[in-house]
Structure 1
Amino acid sequence: MIKVLIADDQELIRHSLQIVLSNKQNIEVTDAVADGQEVIRSVRKNKPDVILMDIRMPKMDGVQCTKIIKENYPEIKIIILTTFDDDEYIYDALKYGASGYLLKGVSMDELVNAIQTVYSGRAMINPDIATKVVRLFSQMAKADFFIDTGQKAEQELTKTELKIIEQIEYGLSNKEIADALNLSEGTVRNYISTILNKLKLRDRTQLAIWAIQAKIGKKGLNMERHNENE
């Protein structure tokens, strides 16, 4: 059962989502709230798996709320819902750890699919803004958003960890990485957790940006300076 929290300042949208999602198999709506402060209170009480987060809410908007939630509950997945495909919102929401970004108006089947997708550990971006997201990620990977992990930490990466980072750089999901490297999904998740700890990175998004900056894919895996242990 996937526990979902709905956050939207428009009562009609909030209640409509609650009614429809409550009737879906394997989805439990834990709460439906109107602003970011209520999101934080509800998260503390109900511990949802996925939050559907409106970008524009009173008291605390969806971007700031995403930042706070991901800092304190990194395991919770957040899908940003908005009628505005604004660059600043896309950039910040993804930078702070949102797993998905959908424009309001998507079908309920698409929304349910998005919930299931992010719950499984993958990202879900609305096709209408996918091109813009790619461009923004490219900008984030430039010097004005440089991520320095330190040379010593990088040297501690094993060959298998480098292979996994390379796959993340290419945008592969945990399942796709597991299939490509003949590993289980659980093993891939454990490797990613170890990699994030070694590099002192917050999440998969930062890891992907660092991999682009470090040109992991272009360097290939013939890197003698790295730990030979698997």
Structure 2
Amino acid sequence: MRSFTVAIRIPEWVQHPMHRLIDDHEAVHRSELLEWNVTGEQRTALVFRVLADRDVYERALRETASIREYELVDGRADELYLYVRDTPTESDRELYDAFTATNLVAVPPITFLSGGRLTIQMLGTAADVDTVVNALPGGFDVELEAVTAMGPTGGRVGLTERQRETLAAAERVGYYDIPREGTVNDVADELGLATSTAGDHLRKAEATLARSYLDGRF
């Protein structure tokens, strides 16, 4: 049994309108699917944590025809919690079916990002992952970001291998020293990356660690 972190890019023409909103509006940044219940071909019940402006996000919820019911609750800063009952599209059902045909277990959250991209951590076997990739509808791009041993911390925090490498490099160059000795440029040089890429890895890793700590996941 292994832990697999997979990135899936969903074609624009089958993206859910609330996912497309991340690209369409600068006030909507990301959403994380925390819990879900597929109650049949015509209904899904979902709980999201969303980083967005409430007015913008709620207006989009009201305008999305497939959403049958929702409740939006304020969290910290621009963080929102959403309970929603939605009517799945044919592509949604194909995506669900691809995963339920295996013994893979999804580890929340499933994170929705810009560019139609989502990341998901799964526990299972390499054969199960291959089955999912082969069963996904045409036009879905899949990238395997990390494979690690199954364990409570790795499974709950969900850093990718590249993010772990970037944090380790930052520590080596003194980026986390007080006072700070290293820079993002130093981290990039250590790993042979562009500065912008190294900075992106650091920000994502730090955001994941901060949310995990605040949520009591370690």
Structure 1 and Structure 2 fold alike (TM over 0.5): no
Structure ranking higher in strand proportion: 2
Q: TM-score, normalization: structure 2?
A: 0.25
Higher RCO (CA < 8 A, seq sep 6+): 2
Q: TM-score, normalization: structure 1?
A: 0.24
Structure ranking higher in helix proportion: 1
